[in-house]
Structure formats: structure tokens, C-alpha cells
Amino acid sequence: MADSDSAKLPAGVLPDRAQPHALEIERAVLGAMLREPGVCIDLAISQFGHQEVFYAPAHRLIYSTLVELHNTTRNADLVSLAQLLRERGKLDAVGGEIYLAELDGSISTTVNIEAWCRILVKYATLRRMIDVCASSLMKCYDRDIDIGKLVDEIESDIYSVRHDEATHSVYGIQELIAKEVESLIDIMNNKVEVGIPTGFAAIDEYTGGLKKGEMFVLAARPSIGKTTLGLNVIRNVALHPTHPRAVAFFSLEMTEQQIARRLLCTEAQVAESSFWNHSFLDSDLDKLGRVAEKIENAQIWIDPTGGLSIAELRAKARRLVSQHNVELIVIDYLQLMSADERIENRQQEVAKISGGIKKLAKDLNIPVLVLAQLNREIDKNSSPNARPKLAHLRESGAIEQDADIVTFLHRNRDEAKNNAATSVEAEWIVEKNRNGRTGVVKLLFYPARMEFVPAAPGSDQFGPR
């Protein structure tokens, strides 16, 4: 049988070069499937998922027909294969019975089929990458295209190739248990961290820190201090004395200048308002100078795009992780984001956003700290100390469902009005914890310098001073 033509690249893009392939390996895999259908077909299905793994159209047809026979009649032998292809008028298209017989006798053993499958998956991935890049090149010639949409499409296509490359395997419990026992021992001996420390040891005791692949929600009513607490966590992570990490902050509410100024003043323990009313001291300027270089060297990346969509977040986050090794993403705040498509129902839109954030955390395998706003129901309670509940999450119960950890920041908002120079009691409430316990952590809030600190001194070496 002559080698069949494969999918062509767009005109003018490497027209004289065939895409990566290995026809002899394809023949070996098909031969193994005919030799031992019961085992080899199931293995091929688990490795491939689709017929495009084969380069030659004839091989794709043979593979899909064998899979169909295996799934329907469990009788995927040479005779049944030839008969079904003949009934459909496709036998000559694959080279006839002679070629099928050649496949059946092309190997002496099936022991290497798993290695052969991995080779075919690799070549299929390379072909997909070539197709994506070639298609992207052709799109770039369209002068009327939306450039932002184009870049997102290209990044999404490339990322999907990376994701599809990984095969979804089934693991035996024995292998998993052995690995997890070793992992738990390493955690117990402080060889590895459960998650990234927030800088608040009491919270980390409940949650294990900010763990990879998890969506960690911090919610509060307006003007309670969720942005301040989020920035305190960013500072603690990025300026950790022994293990600083790169952090990306997507701020939909504040400008980049406001964020930088807030970080600078909080770290220097200087009230930002002292510069507006000219009450600052020379010592305050000295403090700012000392911490400026420290913050300049921190790996903090700020994106102040308003109305950020999930598609934009996904594209920017992937670049930051790839280019700057970002280990934590912070979003302020969820309800200011938009879905990728127009949705009339706001609850459905928020559900799309929440699901997209959770998927992003899993795909990038890093924690995502999401700030969120609570609805007004809590304000209707006559008690000033009424604590928020999961039902108070604004506009969507999907946030509660998608999040691994849901926490609330709570304090009496009126106490800070006449208490700017002193501290105000606050609570960081762990209301949902998928892999741990819930509870309340006491904090002190200093409105003048916009900082939360643990309410009582402890052994927290990472915490704010």
C-alpha cells in the first residue's frame, strides 16, 4: 500500500516537508491490536483517545474499525475486520485483505506496544503543534481581526496541545499509597511545605497554607479590608525572608500606582494619609527609603485591567507562570470580572467565572486567592457582630461549590472611623475547608497603615511585624 497523504499545511508554509510520523510504528501497533485484541486494543484506546494519532488515513480507518468491533462484538479479528470494511466499501481504501494480512504478521511480539503508542502520541502532538502554528500564521494575515482575541485564541490552542499530550492513566492503590506515605513523612519532617504560608500562622494551621491547584476565597462586605488583607498576604509571600515567591496580582478595582503606594507605606509602617495632610516626619521618609529597594526587588506582578474576562485572565496567567515562575495568583475581586460570552443571567455569569478560576488553578497547578464580595443580607441583621455565612456570597452559590476554601473577613466597620491611630479587632473566619477544619482566627486591624496582624503574639516567623 502506498503511503497516503496527510493533512496539509496552509499554502506556502513548508510545502515540501512531510509532518512528523512513523508508518512502521503505526503498522506495528495495528498488528499488535490484531494479534492480541483483548489487551492491545484497550491499551491503545487508553493511550490515544482518537484516531488522529495515526498519520495515514488508511491506518486511521483500520484503527477506528477495530475499536468499533471491539466495543460492539468483542470479536476484533482479521476476518471480522476485513468483512466489515468490505460491507462498507472501504476494504480497497486500506489496501485490501493482502495489506491487512501483512499487518497481522508484521510483528513477532506485542510486548513493546506501550512504547510504540508513546512514540505515536509524540508524533501526533508535534503534528498538532505544526497545525496550530500554521493556522495561527494564516490568521495573522487577516487585517480586520481583533488582535486581543487572536492572541488569546493562539495561546489557548497551544495550551490545549500541551494539555492533551498528557495521557490520563489509571493508578493502582498500592502505588498511590506508597507515594502518599512518603509525602506525609516529608511534610512531618519539614522537608516540603503543604502550601505557601500566608504569613498568618493561625490561618495556615487551619488550611495548610495556599495549596497548589486550590481556589482560596476571601470574602467580605465593602470597606471591611479584604483588599488590604489580600495585599498583606502578597507582601508576606513575596517578601518572605528565606523563600520569597513570585506573585501575580490582578486588581480590577485599584490602579497599579495605588497598589504600589499601599505596599510601600504598609511595609514602611507609615500612614499614607500623612502625606496628604502633611503630617509626615523626616523619619517616615527614611523608612520609605529603606523599604523601597526591598520591594523593588520583590517578584510582584500587577495587572490593573478593569472588567477582566476569564479568557484574558487565563492568557495572562499562563504567560506569567511561564515567563516569571509565578507561584501564586491573587484576584481582586471576582464579581468585577466578566465571562467570556454574553450571559443575561448574572448568577450564571458569576458561576462561569468561578468555574473558570477553579479550572485555572488546577491547570496551572498553583493556588489562586480570590477576593469576593458578600451581599447585603448580612447588613440587615440588627446585631453589629453578626458573622457572615456561605449564603451571603454575592450573586452565586457556585463560588461556594467551586472553592476549596472559603473564608470571611469580619469586623465592626464603625469602630475604625474614630480609631485611625489605634487597632480594631477583626476576625478571619474559615467557613468552608474541603480538606480540613473550620474556625475563627483573631486579628487586629491598623487603619492608619492598612495592615492586619495576628491578635496575639505567637511563633509566626512569617507574619507581619
Q: At a CB cut-off of 8 Å and minimum separation 6, what does 229 contact?
A: 218, 409, 428, 452
Catalytic residues: 253
Return the half-sphere exposure (C-beta side, CA atoms, 13 A cut-off) of residue 123.
20
Question: What is the three-state SS of 168-212?
Answer: CCCCCHHHHHHHHHHHHHHHHCCCCCCCECCCCHHHHHHHCCECC
Cβ neighbours for 395, distance < 8 A, ≥ 6 positions apart: 335, 346, 347, 350, 375
Whether residue 18 contacts residue 6, with contact meaning beta carbons closer than 8 Å, is answered with yes
